[in-house]
Structure 1
């Protein structure tokens, strides 16, 4: 399970919220206003239940619905069973041609099975980091060019 997926599920509950800061997921009752009022803290870089610190007595309170707590525990179980490297979203890239002409960025599109130039990043082929690594492995002479052309695509751009 990816961290963003876990956050989305937990934050969709009526009485519990979660947030991530500095590699730690904090789970709070929604009615508590202070960030240090978490009832569960999960280290995102560790596996198993040893990654969890709980303070149910102090910060859980009567405001957390038992079904919401059950959902949180299910999500936490799936998260801590996911290998650490698989919890984080894989970076995505497009390939931008180096020599832009007329102040227009030129991106590479491979959707038709042939390399083509497009002017918008939204029209370019988006590659996962692992796909670019495989492309470099399959074409070692192109590896320096791929590294020079790759441009990270942030969340809402793809």
Structure 2
């Protein structure tokens, strides 16, 4: 689960708010009757376990037990998400079979024009949502598009 997805999911629950810290990589979860400094749960973006979550049970006023249970489920899903996957969308290159010289060909788009290149240009990547959009445009090529996906490693 991504950071913004967690915040959005919690903000969709009745009687609760979640917001990101301004100067810290933290999510504050609090009753909608309070501000973020009246949080009952503080969660660092890089937290890896429940031991790293800060609780203040005194600030639970007005939070229904079933709503609290949903929050804890969402936070648990967030904690089980690898830290690298919590941030931006994954990026992929679309790679084709190697040419006669043995170089992989990559599908690139620039200014609306599609081309093939043997170079891994910085801008020749597609996000997961770009790829989903391609699949909608070319439903008969879904398996091919999935087979072409090659994760871009951030340097």
Q: CA RMSD of the aligned region, Å?
A: 3.0
TM-score, normalised with respect to structure 1: 0.59
Aligned position for 2:43? 42
Aligned position for 1:79? 78
Listed as ranges, the matches of 1:8-157 within 5 Å are: 8-21=8-21, 22-32=24-34, 34-57=35-58, 59-61=59-61, 63-90=62-89, 107-110=111-114, 115=115, 139=118, 142-143=119-120, 146-147=121-122
The number of residues matched between the two structures is: 112
Contact 1:44 1:51 in 2 (8 A): no
Contact 1:16 1:69 in 2 (8 A): no
Residues 116-150 of structure 1, C-alpha deviations (whole Å, 9 max, x = no match): 9xxxxxxxxxxxxxxxxxx8xxx3xx23xx23x56
Q: 1:96 to 1:14 in 2, by over 3 A?
A: same
TM-score, normalised with respect to structure 2: 0.60
Please state how far the C-alpha of 1:109 moved relative to its aligned partner: 3.9
User: Which runs of 5 or more structure 2 residues have no equivalent in the other structure?
Assistant: 93-107, 128-132, 134-155
Residues 76-122 of structure 1, C-alpha deviations (whole Å, 9 max, x = no match): 011111110011122669x786xxxxxxxxx1443xxxx39xxxxxx
Residues 7-62 of structure 1, C-alpha deviations (whole Å, 9 max, x = no match): 12111111111111221110000111x321111001111201122000012x111x
Distance 1:11 1:109 in 2: 40
Distance 1:20 1:150 in 2: 31
Q: 1:109 to 1:8 in 2, by over 3 A?
A: farther
Please state how far the C-alpha of 1:5 moved relative to its aligned partner: 1.6
User: Which runs of 5 or more structure 1 residues have no equivalent in the other structure?
Assistant: 98-106, 117-134
Displacement over 4 Å in runs of 4+: none
Distance 2:79 2:36 in 1: 22
